[in-house]
Amino acid sequence: MRETTLRDVADLAGVSPRTVSNVVNGYAKVTDSTRAKVEAAIAELGYRPNVLARNLATGRSGQIVVVVPYLDTPYFAELLQAIIPAARKLGYNVLIDQTDGDRQHEGELIGRGSRRHLFDGMIISPLGLAQEDLTARDPSLPLVVLGERVSDGTFDHVGIDDVAASTEAVAHLIAIGRRRIAAIGDQPYPTGEAAQLRTRGFRAAHEAAGLPVDESLIIGTARFNRIDGATAMTALLDRADPPDAVFCYSDLVASGAIHTVLGRGLRVPEDIAVIGYDDIEDGRYSQPTISTISPDKKAIAQLAVDRLVLRIAASEPIPGVELRAPHELVPRQSTLGY
Amino acid sequence: MRETTLRDVADLAGVSPRTVSNVVNGYAKVTDSTRAKVEAAIAELGYRPNVLARNLATGRSGQIVVVVPYLDTPYFAELLQAIIPAARKLGYNVLIDQTDGDRQHEGELIGRGSRRHLFDGMIISPLGLAQEDLTARDPSLPLVVLGERVSDGTFDHVGIDDVAASTEAVAHLIAIGRRRIAAIGDQPYPTGEAAQLRTRGFRAAHEAAGLPVDESLIIGTARFNRIDGATAMTALLDRADPPDAVFCYSDLVASGAIHTVLGRGLRVPEDIAVIGYDDIEDGRYSQPTISTISPDKKAIAQLAVDRLVLRIAASEPIPGVELRAPHELVPRQSTLGY
DNA sequence: AGTTCCGATTGCAGCGCTGCAAAGGACTAT
DNA sequence: ATAGTCCTTTGCAGCGCTGCAATCGGAACT
């Protein structure tokens, strides 16, 4: 049995298909009586519009794609959880792609891919986009980038003020009396700009407090996972002069670091205070609970979606902007104690 | 500038649009020379097929939707991470929906929704489907259900053997010498069948060991979150006769329970041993690491996707089947100690 | 050489909807 | 009564592709 179409409804209601379309879309001026007739017919036949056909006719898919490195990283999962309803509210479905942290994959996604017609725009949270990825990108693809700051001026960024947030985090460690503070997560190469901003905040806080920075306490990591935090922390604890506090560039890193500290029989925060970044749900339940920088994920999601939809609707290319979502310092047990 | 179409390619290659279509789809018998001509034209024009148009013509969207209650629940995130590549490999894109744990929302999704045309099939991991949800469901929607066992015989289930797995978990607790074992997560009502299977395993293990079950140690929870575990554990510890081990129906519940135990100054596993369910990544890094039942998520994903695609391709309705993925017991610190 | 056969290629029609512009109808103004 | 105005409704064409069945051309056979 065929699905009922616009035409079926039109026949039953005694109007033209075009009028049914107008009713369905809430468009134009339709008399109340006509609308009533059509709606009755729709209800009677159980009609539902064929989105595929609409997509072809309008040339728009009504879908946006969100690209994240890993779905099972809590920060991204929580972000997605915020993006999906925000997009849905504006009439967009969300497709999700994960790159598995593969930069080449990221480059392909913003390039001229064969799936281009499936989405009207893209929100991407890259691990690190290189300049050459950008030049190869499909110029017809409305794009909003989360986190990264690199840009060619044709797309938008949404993020928090990483430098300010990092400065606050480290200032907090200083405020609770710590003087030898380590940083875990630096990435001193072109695609690691997000990490570098945090390192900049780390330095700024020291400077503001008149403290010297021990460069050897800035530990680089390839990623922001638990294992990276655990590994880095092991190296720090193996030193003759271990730190008394650690600023971790993600809560996962902090979790891994704490794991190592406790495993050595040391205490958090008494021996080593730890602060993270992202405010993932885990950190509120782990033992100890993790002090952190909490980005306003709902705001990030809303800003990104709004901006993307604006960009999709725009007939002219619009210049890229930098959008800042709020953040706040959330001290918990890993710095304050119990 | 218009996107290049099939017709443009055809004109350049000097063949009919239909032949270009054949080449693009790898269909039929196309001479090598023709294929070469067409491919050259495609490359020259940078042609990419319009998926929207194809969708309309074929009546298929090439998308499947995966519905989970919460995206930021690690178990579901990890499952999705496995489903997406499995689907992609078979040529399907994955749409993701979250129901926020709203059963009504679940019912609507499998009902005659307006987004029906957007996907060819659905994999749903329900919090609990009631029989009436099933009767209202859209019979044209190929469906694979994860976890739940309720069925009307028109769709498939994929899951692990919950009873066997739960039995193993509790047997493990018994094997390490525990005799007063609690269970956290029971849901003794129609939509809580998944939980009830675990309770059944809990009983089976006791019976096999000749131990009596203390019914008052079976604690119900509305959900499987950390907070539920923490709350339930608090109740257990407030008793005059607290348990010496706990079987939690998810790793999150276990995490919350452990949090409470440690917060009381008690030790895990010395005072109370804890075992969870799901093997989420967290459990491998928390303090202590969490013993658990590890479902083979890749197998679940593969089985679900394969079966769904089969169902989509089928011309006749095919009867629902029960598919079992492997699982294994993974003992860690929360039962074995350090 | 004529006929048959078979695989490669083509043409047509249509998937169900919307953009556009024109037609139709009711109502007002003269 | 007639023309003008404005708003609702309509018809047409087409979005870009594929299903189907017909066609074409060359090879094989008699």
Q: Which pLDDT belongs to residue B28?
A: 62
Do B282 and A287 lie within an 8 Å CB cutoff?
no
Nearest beta carbon to residue A48 from set B84, B112, B263: B112
Would the Cβ of B19 be found within 7 angstroms of any atom in strand C? yes
Those residues whose C-beta lies under 8 Å from the C-beta of residue A150, and which sit 6 or more positions away, are A129, A130, A131, A134, A193
pLDDT at A246: 98
Residues 264-293 of B with CB under 7 A from strand C: none
Q: Which chain D positions have some atom within 7 A of a protein CB?
A: 7-12, 14-20
**Strand C contact at CB of residue A62, distance < 7 A:** no
Is 80 exceeded by the pLDDT of residue B5? yes
Taking CB atoms and an 8 Å cutoff, what residues of chain A touch B82?
A: none
Number of residues that this document lists for chain B: 338
Whether B1 shows a pLDDT value over 80: the answer reads: no
CA–C1' A57–C19 (A): 9
CA of B17 to C1' of C23 (A): 37
- Confidence at B31, pLDDT banded by 50, 70, 90: confident
Strand ranges in A99-210 using DSSP code E only, listed in sequence order: 121-124, 143-146, 156-160, 181-186
Tokens of B239: 């008793």
Q: Which of A293-307, A321-335, B29-43, B94-108 has the lowest mean pLDDT?
A: B94-108
Domain boundaries, chain B: 6-58, 63-160+296-327, 162-294
In this structure, is the CB of residue B135 within 7 Å of any atom belonging to strand D?
no
* Percent of chain A predicted with pLDDT > 90: 70
* pLDDT score, position A186: 97
CA of A21 to C1' of C14 (A): 19
How far off is chain B from A262, nearest CA to CA, in Å? 8
CB-CB neighbours of B212 under 10 Å: 8
**Same fold yes or no, A6-58 and A162-294:** no
Q: Which of A170-174, A243-247, B23-27, B195-199 has the lowest mean pLDDT?
A: B23-27
Judge whether residue B6 contacts strand D, using its CB and a 7 Å cut-off. yes
Residues of chain A scoring pLDDT < 70: 1, 28
pLDDT score for B110: 86
- Ramachandran region, residue A279 (left: φ > 0; alpha: ψ -120 to 50; beta: rest): left
C-alpha B299/C-alpha B325 separation (Å) is 6
Tell me the per-residue pLDDT of A93-117, one tens digit each, with 9 for 90 and over. 999 888 887 878 888 888 888 889 9
Q: Is-cis flag, bond preceding A295, omega within 30?
A: no
Distance from CA of A207 to the nearest CA of B (A): 34
Residue B173 predicted with pLDDT over 90 = yes
Q: Do A52 and B61 touch (CB under 8 A)?
A: yes
Q: Tens digit of pLDDT for each residue in B273-304?
A: 999 999 998 899 888 999 999 999 999 999 99
Chain A residues with CB inside 8 Å of B53's CB?
A: 56
pLDDT at B332: 97
Nearest-CA distance B233 → chain A (Å)? 14
Q: Which CATH superfamily is domain A162-294 in?
A: Response regulator (3.40.50.2300)
Q: Is residue B21's beta carbon less than 7 angstroms from any atom in nucleic acid strand D? A: yes
Contacts of A116 in chain B (CB under 8 A): 48
- Look at the domain A63-160+296-327 and name its fold: Rossmann fold (3.40.50)
Written as six digits, the tokens of B21 are 């279509």
b/e map A283-303, b = 16+ CB within 10 Å: bbbbbbbbbbbbbbbbbbbbb
Q: Span B120-128, mean pLDDT?
A: 90
Cβ neighbours of residue B202 closer than 8 Å, sequence gap 6 or more: B166, B167, B170, B181, B183, B213, B218, B247
Tell me the range of B102-111, B210-219, B316-325 where mean pLDDT is highest.
B210-219
Q: Residue B5 CA to D22 C1' — how many Å?
A: 25
Which residue, counting CA atoms, is nearest to the C1' of nucleotide C9? B19
Any idea which nucleotide's C1' is nearest the CA of B48?
D16
Give me the mean pLDDT over the B151-160 stretch: 89
Record: contact A52-B48, CB cut-off 8 A: no
Chain B positions in Cβ-Cβ contact with residue A50 (cut-off 8 Å): 56, 117
Distance CA(A187)–CA(B90), nearest Å, equals 37
Q: How far does B56 lie from chain A, in Å, by closest CA?
A: 6
Please indicate whether, in this complex, the C-beta atoms of A230 and B285 are within 8 angstroms of each other: yes
With the C-alpha atoms ordered B203, B204, B208, B209, is the resulting torsion angle positive or negative?
A: negative
Note the CA–C1' distance, B59 to D27, in angstroms.
39
State the DSSP code for B290: P
Q: Does nucleic acid strand C have an atom less than 7 angstroms from the CB of B52?
A: no
**Of the candidates A93, A118, A286, which has its C-beta nearest B286's C-beta?**
A286
Output the pLDDT for position A28: 62
Assess whether pLDDT exceeds 80 at residue B242: yes
From the list A216, A233, A218, the residue with the least C-alpha distance to A274 is A233
10 Å Cβ neighbour count for A221? 22
Residues 6+ apart with CB under 8 A from B173: B181, B245, B247, B273, B275, B335
In whole angstroms, give the CA distance from residue B184 to residue B230. Answer: 10
Nearest to B93 among A74, A81, A95 (CB): A95
Token look-up 């607290």 returns B242
Determine the 3-state secondary structure of B295 from DSSP. Answer: strand
- Measure in Å the smallest separation between the Cα of B200 and chain A Cα atoms: 29
Enumerate the H helices of A96-153 as residue ranges: 103-110, 131-135
Give the nearest nucleotide to A19, CA to C1': D9
Q: Is A249 strand, coil or helix? A: coil
Q: Any idea which residue has 């050259």 for tokens? A: B40
The fold of B6-58 is 434 Repressor (Amino-terminal Domain) (1.10.260)
Q: 0.95 cut: is pTM over it?
A: no
Residue B2 pLDDT greater than 90, yes or no: no
Question: Tell me, what's the pLDDT at B132?
Answer: 74
Which residues of A are less than 8 Å from B71 in CB distance? Answer: 77, 80-81, 84
Q: What is the pLDDT of residues A130-184, one digit of tens each?
A: 777 777 888 889 999 998 777 788 899 999 999 999 999 999 999 999 999 999 9
